[in-house]
Amino acid sequence: MIEVEEEPLIRSLEVSGVHFSKRPMKSQSSKKDWPVWLRMDAVAFRRLHRWAQEKEDAKLAHQMRGHQLSVDYYKADWPERIFLKLWWLFGNYGLSLWRPLLWLLLSFAVFLNLLLCFGSVPGIDPTPVASGVPAGSAADGWRNVLFGDDMRAQFSRAVVGATESIFSPVNVFSTRKLVVPTEPWVAVVQFFYSYLCLGLIFLFGFSVRRRFKI
């Protein structure tokens, strides 16, 4: 199949068993619609990245790679654009060390307030956890602050619940959780919050690696 943008100018051509159909070509965005800095193309940033690697300038190489990804965003198809947009939003293509941590702190504060406003209960039993454990209970030590209905106990559960989701994201459905949300929809939010935290920690580590290693 041969596609042409305009009507073909054919003077003498014999064909058989061929069907001609006219349909519009797939439109592509014009370079005039791109930002001015984008017209440099990713090739320029790629060359600068390679040059910085040769000079062993990790910081410059890191920056040029990030700018190259910024250019690639405008040239990518929509599924890849979604991924690149999220990468930019949470990590600025690895150019920012602090953006993932700021998002982590913000999400921590939001979920802590959810637990504080809508309530939570201890996920552990204050009675002994096993008959074979001598003179001990799940509420021993610092964990006794999780029990009670006063403001101190509620705030302690909110802090522990929000922190537990960061360091144990795969523990969302476990029966050994220290704090359990009272409302089911808050538990659903906790599921997404846990894996968001896992992704943000990964992006922070990735940014550190890219910043200090070529």
With a pLDDT cut of 90, the percent of the chain lying above it is 14
Mean pLDDT check: name the lowest of 6-10, 92-96, 99-103, 169-173: 6-10
Q: Is residue 204 part of a domain?
A: yes
The 10 Å CB-count burial string (b at 16+, else e) for 146-173 is: beeeeeebbebbbbbbbbbbbeebeebe
121 and 197 fall within a common domain: yes
CA torsion through residues 7, 12, 18, 19, sign: positive
Q: Convert the pLDDT of each residue in 131-150 to its tens digit.
A: 444 444 556 677 788 888 88
Same-domain pairing of 182 and 167: yes
* Mean per-residue pLDDT, 76-97: 81
For residue 122, the model assigns a pLDDT of 86
Q: Are 191 and 121 in a shared domain?
A: yes
Tokens of 82: 């979604």
**DSSP 3-state of 181:** strand
| 110 domain-assigned | yes
Indicate whether 45 belongs to any domain: yes
- Structural domain includes residue 7: no
Per-residue model confidence (pLDDT) at position 131 = 46
d(C-alpha 9, C-alpha 29), whole Å: 27
- State the residue range of the domain holding 46: 34-94
Does a structural domain hold residue 39? yes
Residue whose C-alpha is closest to residue 165's, from 102, 106, 107: 107
Supply φ then ψ for residue 51, to 5 degrees.
Answer: -65, -40
Instruction: Please tell me the predicted confidence (pLDDT) of residue 20.
Output: 54
Averaged pLDDT, 12-30: 54
Q: Can you name the residues that pair with 181 across neighbouring β-strands?
A: 120
Confidence class of residue 10 from pLDDT cuts 50, 70 and 90? low
- The more confident residue out of 199 and 22 is 199
pLDDT in tens, 171-201: 766 667 888 888 989 989 999 999 899 999 9
Residue 19 lies in a domain: no
pLDDT at residue 112 in the model = 94
Find all residues with CB under 8 Å of 118, minimum gap 6, and list them: 181, 182, 183, 186
Same domain, 78 and 121: no
Place of tokens 């209970």: 137
Query: Which segment of 71-75, 135-139, 161-165 scores lowest on mean pLDDT?
Result: 135-139
Query: Residues 112-133: pLDDT tens digits?
Result: 999 999 988 887 766 554 444 4
Do 122 and 183 sit in the same domain of this protein?
yes
Confidence at 27, pLDDT banded by 50, 70, 90:
very low
